[in-house]
Structures are given as C-alpha cells and as structure tokens.
Structure 1
Amino acid sequence: MPIQWFPGHMTSARKKAAETMALTDVVIEVLDARIPEASSNPMIRELRLFRQRPCLKILNKTDLADPVATRAWLDYFNSQPGVKAVALSCKKPGDVARVPALCQGLAPHRNDGTKPLRIMIMGIPNVGKSTMMNALLKRRVAAVGDEPAVTKQQQTFDLGSHTTITDTPGLMWPKIEHDSDGFMLAASHAIGRNAVIDEEVAEFLGNLLLDRYPALLASRYGVAPERLEALDGVGVVETVAAKRGCRLKGGAPDLEKASQILLNDYRSGALGRISLETPETRRAMLAQDGEVTTPAGNPPSA
C-alpha cells in the first residue's frame, strides 16, 4: 500500500515558510543521512530556488549511516551550485558548533557586521532539527520527541555575532511520488504511525537488508548466512519473531511485534550502520520508474 502523510498543519507551515524564506540569507536543510534524497522535501527546493538562497545540507544521524554511502552522497550534493553538504550528528555539540561558520561561508555579503546573518532551518519531521537548535543555543528551546511532527510553529532566536536562526516545523509534501520513498521514510520514523502498517514497512526493510546488508542481519539475529539466502522480507520478520520469542496465543508468530523489533533495531543502530539508498540505487530507482535523470546521470536534487 503506498504511504502518504500530510497533516493539516503543514499547509499553513508551508505558507509561513515561504514568507520567512524571503527574509532569509541561508537555508539549512537537515536530512537523514540514511536516506538523504528520500528525506529531501521537493517543496523546500522550490522555495529556496525561487528566492535564490544558498543551502547547507546537513546529513544528520551520520553515526547510524553506512560511511561509504555517506561519502558518495556528500560528493553528489557538493557538486551542486549554491550547496554545501556536511555529515554530522546533531547530538554532538562539537559537530553542531561548526554550523554557523559554514552558513557564513555561504553568505559572504553578511560578513561585514552591518546586517545580521539570517538562517532558516528546514526539513521533514523527525530528522533532528530541534535537537540541532537546542545544541546551537546551548539550552532547550525546541521540543524533542521520538514521534514525527513535534514542532508545530516557527521560532526565531538570536545566535549572537549578528546571527539569527529560525526553526520551522517539519514539513512533508502532499504526494510522495515513489512508493519506495514512502517506505524508507516510514522505516526511518519520519512518518506518523497512523499512516503506516508496521508489517508492510518491516517487509520492505527486510528485503532491502537481505539485498545489501545480509551479514548485519545474520549477526544481529543469529541466523546462518546460508539460511538468509532462502528468505524474503516476510521471512525476515518471521525469523525475528522466532529468534525473539514473539508468539501469539496458540503459538502463531506475532508478526506485528517482530516487525516493531526489526524497525527499532534499524532506527536505533542496533543492526549496524545502514543506508537505505545511495546515489547509484537512487538512479536505478528513477530509471525503473521511467523518470529522467540529470545529464550526468544523477538523480534530481531536492
């Protein structure tokens, strides 16, 4: 079943973001390093390009992502005009401390101290915007939660040194064009649980892990590698149920509980450092869906 999620408050949030964009010098787009393109909102790209604003793309949760895939994404994003990409963890104050200087480098016209550098943080829900805000300001100013869409309205703060920063609510887009993007977003907990069925998301994740990270599956759940070769996504969930003792009354496997275990192990990093997409897999997905890529063969950037 295709996954869609666009809560009502996001319509007004988009309108307010467009108004604020006109008064912004640099846009920070926070992405999930495990799904950098799937977690990039095309509406953010449209808004910033309309205003011709430079963008600092922050690949957050880099400690959970495959480092090889992250390096490929950094190369891809840094080849784009007006874009600077960095990988960091918003939970590490030392990483976040680099952000103001990186923004200043994208807006040299604000380096004379006459007018403040105005920064705007954007991104989809649950990618770490609020965590970064709290780290930048060294105090708790933004609510942080395990569920998407915790922040509901914009807030602007003084960072000092003639710099202001505006935090915005997590913003999805009205229609997710590619089914695999919806599943990657759901697996990474960027979509509200009322919009997804855990078993379907876990089946998608299981198939992807079998294809790209079978050794991590074998290690986490104590499965012989040759046993994995005979499984599909449903089989992975059933195996997790057997290994973790997930049973319903009567002895049938509790696939819902097993699905939640698999998803939580991925989200927390207990499975290992995993990226659900790379520039190469992105190009292959777009080609399969009949979309045109850029002349260099790269996926269109958001």
Structure 2
Amino acid sequence: MSIQWFPGHMNAARKKAAEAMEKVDLVIEVVDARLPEASCNPMIAELRAFRQRPCLKILNKTDMADPAVTAAWIAYYNAQKGVTAVALSCKKPADVARVPKLALQVAPHRGTALKPLRMMIMGIPNVGKSTLMNALLKKRVAAVGDEPAVTKTQQRLYLGNNMVLTDTPGMLWPKIAHPSDGLMLAASHAVGSNALIEEEVATFLADQLLQRYGHLLAARYGFDLAGMDGVAVVEGVAAKRGFRIKGGEYDFEKAAHVFLQDYRSGALGRITLETPTSRAELLASYQSTDNPEALDDEGDEEEEEEYDWRNAPDHRSGRD
C-alpha cells in the first residue's frame, strides 16, 4: 500500500513558506519523536540549505516515544551541520519554556529590540506545531485538533519584544518515496483518513510492534503472541474486545481503528517506529536495484506545478 496525501492548500503553503524564508533567521522544525525521520519533510531541509538557515529540530511527543531510541536520534541530528536537536513534549510548560533560550543559542546574532529573532515553525501535519505555538505565546492563537491539516494559513506573531514567530500550515511533500514512511505517517495520524485504509495501516503497525515491542502488545491485550503476524494481532484485539459483526465474524475494521487509537494515544506504551540504524538500512535497500518497490517508483512521478525557490528573489541583505 502506497500512501500519498498532498491537498491543494499544502502546495500554496509550500510556496508561501519558500517566499517567507528569506526574512527568517531560524527554522524551528517539529517532528514526531516516534518516527523522527519519516516525519521530516525533505522540502524543509532543501529550503533551509538554500537560504542557509540553521534549524532547531524539536522531537515532540517524546513522552510517548522509546527514550533510548530518542537519545540515539538526538545524537544523530546534533551531528548534522546547522542542526540543534532537542526532545520534549509541547504539552509540558517546563519543556516549552526551554525553546526561546535554545533558539537564541542557535542564532546569537539576533534577539534584541533592534534585531528581533525571526523564527519560522515548520513541520508536517499533526506533529504539535500549533500546540507549541500556543504554549510559547501562552494563549490560543492557533487551532489545535486531532485531525491533520487543521492549520491552513500562515500567521506572524510576537513573542515578547525580541522574538517574532511565523507559524506555517503542516506540509507533506508531493511524493512519499518509501511506502513504509507513508504507513508510519498514517499510523501516527499525519495524513488524512481519506488517503488510507485503516485495516492495512493497523496490520503494518502490528507487524512493526511484534519485532521490538511484543511485550507491550501482550501487556495491553493479554494474549500469547507466539506465531502471530500483524493480521492475527488485530484479530486478537477484536477477540479480546468482543468486536464482532453479524454472523459472528470478527469486526476487523473496528479492531483496526481501536488498535491505531491505542498507539496514537500512548496507551500501548512508549514506542518508536524507527531508529537511526533501521533508517540507514531502509535507505540502503532502496538504493539496491534488487528492490522491486524501488524499481516501481522510478518513472512514476506525478506531474505537478513546482515552485522553484532557487529562482526566487534572494535579497540576502535583508537578513541583517
């Protein structure tokens, strides 16, 4: 199953973000700590590189992620040029209070009354950008919801006298290259429900959890995992919860929905779906011509209107 979701407003948001980047000193990129690299929009990295803007990468929802794996990801990102990574929960005021100080450390040449620090908050849908924005300003200025793509317009707000925040809509990218990335994003509710089949996403998620977090599945649902695959796990959820349809068969659809909700809410425990090592292995597999999915993706690009920020006006003197 290949999941793609790129509503029209995201293309408009991408263009506006490219234009606004010229007058930004720092990008605050929010990702999901449970799938840090899969939830990174590659267009953000390209845009930052072109404008030479540093990044404060926030691994949000860290209270729902595997702490050992989160530590590995923080080390991975901090080894990258121009990136400062931190793990926190945007729902915890003490965590959010660290962000302004960290931002000033990343861009020490700004942050005065004459030269306020200009920051842009970016990320894919439903990773917590609006929650972070509201927490920083200590008031509700951005809509927050459990559905992806709640924010659809860009807004500019002031954080004290010395900082300016630009909030951007959640943006995915036109083609998700790796099917497993699309499934991880779907499992974590970063794509619209119209772009996925919950039963297939739940089966994928169950297969992933069987590999590293079987003990959490057993603790949550109380069944023996011996010999199980992803389909059997979802059927087991149906059996344990008594989900049946007319005729007595398991209600696989309802069980899949409940299983995904358990993961998304953190009820299953602290889970991370990818590690730096597993990511490297994934990329290596797609560089091999022996990967049929990689071959199928070649020449399968959809034509679309592209905004080439490399040809956009570059008034770098405005950076100060």
Q: Same fold (TM over 0.5)?
A: yes
Structure 1 equivalent of residue 311 of structure 2:
none
Distance 1:4 1:221 in 2: 31
Does the residue aligned with 1:148 lie in a helix, a strand or coil? coil
2:269 counterpart of 1:272 = yes
Structure 2 equivalent of residue 199 of structure 1:
199
Taking the TM superposition and a 5 Å limit, the aligned residue runs for 1:218-233 are 218-224=218-224, 228-233=225-230
One-letter identity of the residue aligned with 1:65: A
Q: Decide which moves more: 143-152 or 159-168.
A: 159-168
Q: CA deviation at 1:291?
A: 6.3
Structure 2 equivalent of residue 94 of structure 1:
94
Which residue of the other structure, out of 247, 257, 260, is the alignment partner of 2:257? 260
Q: CA deviation at 1:263?
A: 0.4
Q: Are the aligned partners of 2:111 and 2:162 in contact in 1 as well (CA < 8 Å)?
A: no
Runs of 4+ with deviation above 3 angstroms: none
Distance 2:150 2:161 in 1: 29
Q: Deviations over 1:56-100 (max 9, x none)?
A: 000000000000110000000001111100000000111111111
2:13 counterpart of 1:16 = no
C-alpha RMSD over aligned residues: 1.1
Structure 2 equivalent of residue 285 of structure 1:
282
Does the residue aligned with 1:139 lie in a helix, a strand or coil? coil
Structure 2 equivalent of residue 248 of structure 1:
245
Does the residue aligned with 2:201 lie in a helix, a strand or coil? helix
One-letter identity of the residue aligned with 1:87: A
Q: Are the aligned partners of 2:112 and 2:162 in contact in 1 as well (CA < 8 Å)?
A: no
Distance 2:98 2:26 in 1: 15
Identity percentage of aligned residues? 69
Structure 1 equivalent of residue 53 of structure 2:
53
TM-score, normalised to structure 2, is: 0.89
Structure 1 equivalent of residue 110 of structure 2:
110
One-letter identity of the residue aligned with 1:131: T
Q: Are the aligned partners of 2:28 and 2:120 in contact in 1 as well (CA < 8 Å)?
A: yes
One-letter identity of the residue aligned with 2:48: R
Does the residue aligned with 1:103 lie in a helix, a strand or coil? helix
Structure 1 equivalent of residue 134 of structure 2:
134
Distance 1:220 1:52 in 2: 46
Structure 1 equivalent of residue 84 of structure 2:
84
Does the residue aligned with 1:22 lie in a helix, a strand or coil? helix
Distance 1:111 1:270 in 2: 40
Q: CA deviation at 1:204?
A: 0.2
2:236 counterpart of 1:239 = yes
Q: Are the aligned partners of 2:111 and 2:163 in contact in 1 as well (CA < 8 Å)?
A: no
Q: CA deviation at 1:229?
A: 2.5
In 2 relative to 1, CA 53–291 (structure 1 residues): closer, same or farther, beyond 3 Å?
Answer: farther
Q: Are the aligned partners of 2:34 and 2:274 in contact in 1 as well (CA < 8 Å)?
A: yes
2:161 counterpart of 1:164 = no
Distance 1:264 1:41 in 2: 24
One-letter identity of the residue aligned with 1:89: S
2:124 counterpart of 1:124 = yes
Q: CA deviation at 1:161?
A: 3.3
Does the residue aligned with 1:90 lie in a helix, a strand or coil? coil
Does the residue aligned with 2:58 lie in a helix, a strand or coil? strand
Distance 1:289 1:158 in 2: 44
Distance 2:245 2:108 in 1: 62
Return 5+ residue gaps in structure 2 as ranges.
290-320
Q: Deviations over 1:229-253 (max 9, x none)?
A: 2111111111111011110011000
Does the residue aligned with 2:109 lie in a helix, a strand or coil? helix
Q: CA deviation at 1:111?
A: 4.3
Does the residue aligned with 1:59 lie in a helix, a strand or coil? strand
Q: CA deviation at 1:113?
A: 4.0
